[in-house]
Amino acid sequence: MHSMQVLMVVLSLGAVSLPIRADTTQPIPPTDFARRSPYGTPGMSPNGEYLALSVHGAAESDKYEIGVFHLPDMKPVSRLDMPDQTVPLKIIWTSNTRLIVIPAKQVGWLDEPLRTGDLIAADYDGSHQQSMYGWRARHAHGLPWAPGFFSGLPPKANGHFYWTVTTNNSDKASEGRSEIFDVDAETGSAVSMGSINDDGMQFVVYDGVARIAYGVDDQNKPLLFERDSKDQPWRKLTLSARTAIPLRISADGNQVYWRYSVDGGPDTLAVSNFNFSGLKILASDSFGSVEEVFWTPYPQKPFAVMIDTGHPHAIYVDDDDTATIHKALSQQFPDLLVRFAAVSEDGTRVLVKADSDKDPGLYALFTLNPVTFTPLFKEAPWIDPARMATRLPIRFTASSGQTLDGYLTLPAQGSKLPLVLLPHGGPIGIRDGWDYDAWAQFLASRGYAVLQVNYRGSAGRGNNFLMSGYKQFGTGIQQDLLDGVHWAIEQGYADKDKVCIFGGSFGGYSALMAPIRAPGTFKCAVDFAGISDYNIELDKSDTQRTERGRSYLTQAVGADNATIEAISPIYHLDQFNVPVLIVHGEKDPRVPLKNATELRAALDKAGKPYEWLVKPKELHGFYSDADNIDFLQHLQDFLAKYLGTDRPTTGIGSTGKSAPNMNRG
């Protein structure tokens, strides 16, 4: 079918709409913002006939299971039970009848799940379940037992998958080894496709051979190697570009697709020969980096990229049928961001995810023959998008002269609102986006404007912007946040006398540091798992356990005592003059509890006000629904005490108000 025909039949869907719940006059309870989705990221079989989906049990249960469903009627086919406290991080179909599951341990709301290194395989009907890799299956099938991770699939499903193993008996990457295997998901037999003497390396495979290896060394400097065949040694490439991350080798084996930036500006999508000759930029944006690449079915060409800054938008680089379907669905649902979670090998079935600033997401099945669009499930069915707040993309010029972007989430009515500044964690390589944000929506439902700033060091703007956050944790980054507050006040959105700061992880650190840098700006602060003393982070955090992690801390934070004390809030509490709510998980490995207990002791000694909420079984961020609900109730009461807002609102909807310098792509 030609592209124009595809466009016409998709648009013929006409009256198809995505379901939402009816409005209600009752305030939205904290529970709605604290609950985890019962569903995980789904996977679709190569022929598009089956969907595998992880399902979480009762609210306080640690039990997950994987269900296989027939499409599009979602008729149950089979179930696979996961071990207690184990999250199915990824579900991958290796053929139309066989799938593998990558398990992980949930370590808290503020952190990514931690891979266990295990691998489980099963048939779609639930039979032939086996632990293919892990402690119980170590040394089996020719795979050495060492930390491993999923590394991709062959271009056409053949029942195999790629698995990379890293071995190292020291904390130095240069003394380790990385090796990638082609693994039969039925028998578990494994064949090496290449290895290299550095740990943590990743590979790009073509025709059963690892042709490219890339990663970073102990000093976090990029490494890039290539070779022509399995029998040849690796050749180290000298990079003239600031960023060159290989994504895929073309179907003919002659070219490489890259995330590429020659000067450290926003990353582009590029294609070139292996030695970078003939390089061509396929997609770029002057402000934001290429974050996602959408691929066609075989021969797996890129058809679009996504730019996530501001209001996310697609840039199309091909006009084949897959691109036309995406364009048409995006036109059909203009208020939603449409992504393809999976495409069948023949291109006639597409697993669609559609989400927005107000909707955590809906999955649907689109079919081409005949043309149908069938909603399958919602990630958070209790969330009514009609009652959620609009997140306005903003841009402003900081005092440094740098243009910054961010988001302003606004209740339905009013100007000069009480404002909560909500810095993101990280700080390096993380960003706030336009997508649904439970914390921001909760605060807006309580009558607050919520400001999120992508300060220097955030992701999405290229390597130069990323590196500009190094050694600026307590200074330049905090100034960027303060500049955002001044902008919101000047534009009439915020009441200058009613501003509080709240954040998690690095955002919690900023909740302590920003009031020190700007006395009189804030009425209160909420520190959730924040660093109060960087000496603790350098000594106790899990980041410092490897040479690479220690190098990062030295490069990004600093190592000398004067620098550490200068950026650590605990040494400047004489200038910290706002009440603070301290929230922490007792078992936090990333930001140890000692940060909170020493802060509490110092505040006690100084006679300064604080409130305390520590949960005994929690890690970096709260995992339990009950603990998250309790936290949101504490947060609501604390903010009401110091900002004096009205009672929770009953509905929000669109503000009808635009933000100056709004980036619509």
* CATH at residue 390: 3.40.50.1820
CB-based contact 536:569 (threshold 8 Å): no
CB-based contact 635:627 (threshold 8 Å): no
- pLDDT at position 144 is 74
Residue 232 belongs to a domain = no
pLDDT at 41 over 90: no
Please compute the mean of the pLDDT values over residues 516-527 and round it to a whole number.
Answer: 98
Residue 263 belongs to a domain = no
Residue (of 411, 465, 356) closest to 28 by Cα position? 411
The pLDDT tens digits for 551-585 are: 888 888 887 899 999 999 999 999 999 999 999 99
- The kind and range of the H/E element at 156 are none
Q: Which residues pair with 51 in a beta bridge?
A: 44, 69
Residue 604 belongs to a domain = yes
When comparing pLDDT for 589 and 540, which is higher?
589
- pLDDT at position 24 is 58
Confidence of residue 240 (pLDDT cuts 50, 70, 90): confident
CA dihedral 454, 455, 460, 463 (to 10 degrees): 180
Q: 127-136, 191-200, 209-218: which has the minimum mean pLDDT?
A: 127-136
CB-based contact 355:362 (threshold 8 Å): yes
Confidence of residue 549 (pLDDT cuts 50, 70, 90): confident
Helix, strand, coil distribution of the chain in percent, nearest 5:
20, 35, 45
Distance, in Å, from the CA atom of 559 to the CA atom of 457, rounded to the nearest integer, reads 19
Residue 486 belongs to a domain = yes
Q: Which residues pair with 528 in a beta bridge?
A: 504, 583
- pLDDT at position 665 is 29
CA dihedral 207, 212, 215, 221 (to 10 degrees): -170
When comparing pLDDT for 620 and 485, which is higher?
485
- pLDDT at position 657 is 36
Please compute the mean of the pLDDT values over residues 462-474 and round it to a whole number.
Answer: 96
Residue 64 belongs to a domain = no
When comparing pLDDT for 169 and 136, which is higher?
169
Q: 374-378, 432-436, 460-464, 544-548: which has the minimum mean pLDDT?
A: 544-548
R_g over Cα of the chain: 25
pLDDT at 69 over 70: yes
**% the chain with pLDDT above 70:** 88
pLDDT at 12 over 60: no
The pLDDT tens digits for 401-435 are: 999 999 999 997 778 999 999 999 999 999 999 99
- pLDDT at position 172 is 65
Mean pLDDT, the chain, as a whole number?
A: 89
- pLDDT at position 664 is 25
Give the range of the structural domain holding residue 517, as residue numbers without chain letter.
Answer: 385-643
pLDDT at 7 over 80: no
**% the chain with pLDDT above 90:** 70
Please compute the mean of the pLDDT values over residues 577-597 and round it to a whole number.
Answer: 95
pLDDT at 3 over 70: no
- Three-class DSSP category at 407: strand
Other CB atoms within 10 A of residue 335 CB: 12
Contacts with 17 (C-beta within 8 Å, 6 or more apart), sequence order:
none
Residue 596 belongs to a domain = yes
- pLDDT at position 170 is 64
- pLDDT at position 653 is 46
- pLDDT at position 14 is 46
pLDDT at 83 over 80: no
Confidence of residue 191 (pLDDT cuts 50, 70, 90): very high
Q: Does pTM top 0.85 for this prediction? A: yes
Characterise 621 by phi-psi region: left (phi > 0), alpha (psi -120 to 50), beta (else).
left
- Three-class DSSP category at 458: coil
What are the C-alpha distances in Å from 521 to residues 17, 70, 546, 578? 45, 56, 39, 10
Strand (E) positions, 188-267? 190-196, 202-206, 209-216, 222-226, 235-236, 243-249, 256-261
Q: Which residues pair with 312 in a beta bridge?
A: none
- The kind and range of the H/E element at 149 are strand 148-152
Count up the domains in the chain and report the number.
Answer: 1
When comparing pLDDT for 659 and 286, which is higher?
286
Distance, in Å, from the CA atom of 222 to the CA atom of 210, rounded to the nearest integer, reads 18
Distance, in Å, from the CA atom of 349 to the CA atom of 654, rounded to the nearest integer, reads 34
- pLDDT at position 217 is 84
Helix axes 3-11, 321-332, angle to 10 degrees: 30
- DSSP sequence for 580-615: EEEEEETT-SSS-THHHHHHHHHHHHHT--EEEEEE
- pLDDT at position 51 is 98
Q: 240-254, 314-328, 520-534, 549-563: which has the minimum mean pLDDT?
A: 549-563
- pLDDT at position 174 is 65
Characterise 546 by phi-psi region: left (phi > 0), alpha (psi -120 to 50), beta (else).
beta
Confidence of residue 60 (pLDDT cuts 50, 70, 90): low
Q: State the pairing for strand pair 148-152/337-343.
A: unpaired
The pLDDT tens digits for 149-171 are: 899 999 999 999 999 998 876 66
Residue 248 belongs to a domain = no
pLDDT at 15 over 90: no
Residue 391 belongs to a domain = yes
- pLDDT at position 395 is 98
Confidence of residue 97 (pLDDT cuts 50, 70, 90): very high
- pLDDT at position 543 is 66
- pLDDT at position 656 is 36
- Give Cα 342 to chain centroid, integer Å: 18
